[in-house]
Amino acid sequence: MAVLCKPAIAVPEHIITNEETLELARQLHGDHPQLGLVLRLIEHTGVRKRHLIQPIDEVLKHPGLDSRSILYEAESKARVPAVVDRALAQAEVEPDEIDLIIYVSCTGFMMPSLTAWLINRMGFRTDTRQLPIAQLGCAAGGAAVNRAHDFCTAYPGSNVLIVACEFCSLCYQPIDMGVGSLLSNGLFGDGIAAAVVRGERGTGMRLERNSSYLIPHTEDWISYAVRSTGFHFQLDKRVPGTMEPLSPALRTLADDHQWNASKLDFYIIHAGGPRILDDLCRFLDVPPGAFRHSRATLTEYGNIASAVVLDALSRLFDEQSALDGHQGMLAGFGPGITAEMSLGTWSAPGS
């Protein structure tokens, strides 16, 4: 049965604190009619700092989509291989043992996908399958885990590499003045994550069941307007309330597996913001500490989109609190409004 092994994580070297973000908002948008609301929202994100691939002064310049696309490709190629190497080592798998590479990113575009470049540069077999996922936003981390699980079920003994590369700072748009856009400027950060799903053996989350759910008629709540200046992130004010309609889908998944969603041993949940986590705690009837790994990701890195669930999972590994046989859930949420959910049992060394 497929096992999701310990992810490798990397965040870039340039840091902006929440205090610096608030001061920038005051300087750049001092005459905004809803500045007070924006500042309160940013203060309440729970984000202490974020990491960026460029100094903030460079981010604010916005030289255009063409320059940003060049930067996205260059930074991806410079930063992803080291993360992949660590993920492979942690799973005790060699590049030529990987049968599928799933690459997820919603903050830049390349064709061919970075998967082709990785196969040519890092010793993966030329018959390695490629699955780029570009339009599921923050839900793509969970979707990648689910598609890896599906592949290993269809092809027993196969190994899958997941790579999530998100440079959210490349989506900054200085002309977007909506409250949702200004809040996003203080919420999202840059990060890279990679993990291996082994078809046989391995330490980590032994994947057992997965599902997807889309809240009807909410496709415009989280979206991109694609313009000559790039991706313009659009966030509806109703998004923070989506855990009420999504939590029954999480419960149904657990019920179908004869588990109780309120009584699991670990939870790896996308940290879209503090209200998302608070509401889900309430609707699933779990203590706030159940989502401590997701909260830590949000606090230390901000919302790093599809990489969040892999970073939160890495923190569970580091905590060493999961024991052989512990039952858990992983869930990513994103545009659609879509939930990608999975259940698994912890597999310890030697089990």
pLDDT at 350: 56
d(CA 144, CA 148): 6
Q: What is the residue-wise DSSP string for 30-51?
A: TT-TTHHHHHHHHHTT---EEE
d(CA 270, CA 293): 10
Q: Single out the catalytic residue among 5, 106, 138, 165.
A: 138
pLDDT at 232: 85
d(CA 283, CA 294): 17
Q: Which residues contact 266 (CB under 8 A, 6 or more apart)?
A: 290, 316, 321, 322, 326, 327, 328, 329, 346
Answer for the pair 228, 46: CB distance below 8 angstroms, yes or no: no
d(CA 88, CA 160): 10
Give SS3 for 154. Answer: helix
Radius of gyration of the chain from its Cα atoms, rounded to whole angstroms: 19
d(CA 51, CA 71): 16
Kindly report the pTM of this predicted structure: 0.95
- Taking residue 104's Cβ as centre, other Cβ atoms within 10 Å add up to 30
Catalytic residue list contains 168: no
Tokens matching residue 111: 């064709």
Classify 201 in phi/psi space as left (phi over 0), alpha (psi -120 to 50) or beta: left
pLDDT at 178: 86
pLDDT tens-digit profile of 275-294?
Answer: 999 999 999 999 989 999 99
pLDDT at 98: 98
Answer for the pair 51, 11: CB distance below 8 angstroms, yes or no: yes
Task: Using alpha carbons, list the distances in angstroms from residue 332 to 108, 136, 342.
Answer: 20, 10, 9
Tokens matching residue 151: 């592949």
Tokens matching residue 105: 């990113």
Answer for the pair 315, 297: CB distance below 8 angstroms, yes or no: yes
The domains found in the chain, sorted by start residue, are 3-198 (3.40.47.10), 204-347 (3.40.47.10)
Element (H, E) at 233: strand 230-235
pLDDT at 246: 94
Q: Which residues contact 44 (CB under 8 A, 6 or more apart)?
A: 274
Answer for the pair 15, 183: CB distance below 8 angstroms, yes or no: no
Element (H, E) at 346: strand 338-347
- Taking residue 168's Cβ as centre, other Cβ atoms within 10 Å add up to 27
- Chunked into runs of 10 residues, the chain (351 residues) has average pLDDT values of 96 96 91 91 92 95 90 97 98 97 95 96 97 94 98 97 97 86 90 97 96 95 86 85 93 97 96 90 94 96 96 97 96 94 90 52
Tokens matching residue 56: 């903030």
Look at the chain and count its residues: 351
- Please report, for the chain, how many H helices and E strands are present, in that order: 11, 14
Q: Which residues contact 29 (CB under 8 A, 6 or more apart)?
A: 35, 38, 177, 182
